[in-house]
Amino acid sequence: MPLMTWTTTRREGKRRSASVRPASMVVFNFAKSSAVIASLQDRESGSFSGDEWGEFDTRFLYGALNALSLLRLTHLVDTELCVKYIESCANFDGGYGTSPGAESHSGQIFTCVGALAILGRLDLVDRDKLGGWLAERQLPNGGLNGRPEKLEDVCYSWWVMSSLAMIDRLHWIDKDKLVGFILSCQDAEGGGISDRPGDAVDVFHTVFGLAGLSLMRYEGLLEVDPVYCMPRTTTDRVLGKKQ
């Protein structure tokens, strides 16, 4: 219900009631927002662009399905074409790239596996082959990298571990070493988490560091949903799942 407030007119010098809607009560337009998302799907390939200028990437496909699934409106897009496009991005090593033929990368693997999880098609994933590739991302210091021959980075505590969680291969990582690496990236005085020990902290790495710790059931943290990077209690409620 709108709130009632009093206003004064210059001409009459009197107070009268007026109906106003606080910003916190503005209603989200589900129809228009979902229509915009659906319009970004390429009806030939099944992929999505990030905007009207047409750059296609598996990140946008995942983002579209993430939003539409939370709104329970995935029927607005061709989900079978989505699945076919993801399959076309699969590589010989078990991973996935940004597009067909692109190299495997942990971030893109998350988007593809997450999209398949949303669509209920994780049966298409070669879990052992992908799990092996992801497990090889752990370096001697416990941290994870995004692809071969790259440095460790706290953000991959999410991109790698979430994918492993979705395919039930979390136990293929040395969790104690990874926890130790993440904690070593904290700013002991100011708080927050950085990409590597000694670097400046930021929100991005703090979020994914905490999310990675949650996947490993670190004490004091709520359980995170590996598909959505949101608290499990929240996604269960929004998606109508029994808790």
Return the SS3 of 14. coil
pLDDT for res 23: 57
Predicted pLDDT at 55: 84
At 1-48, the pLDDT tens digits run 333 333 333 333 444 444 455 555 678 888 999 999 999 999 999 999
- Cβ partners under 8 Å of residue 170, min gap 6: 161, 164, 215, 216
Burial of 76 (0-12, 13-18, 19+ CB in 10 A): middle
Tokens coding 155: 């953000």
pLDDT beneath 50: ranges in the chain:
1-19
Phi, psi for 49 (deg, rounded to 5): -100, 160
pLDDT of residue 26: 75
At 14 the pLDDT is 42
Question: What's the rounded Cα separation, in Å, for the pair 197 and 182?
Answer: 9
Predicted pLDDT of residue 30: 85
The pLDDT, as a whole number, for residue 5 is: 34
**Residue boundaries of the structural domains of the chain:** 39-124, 126-243
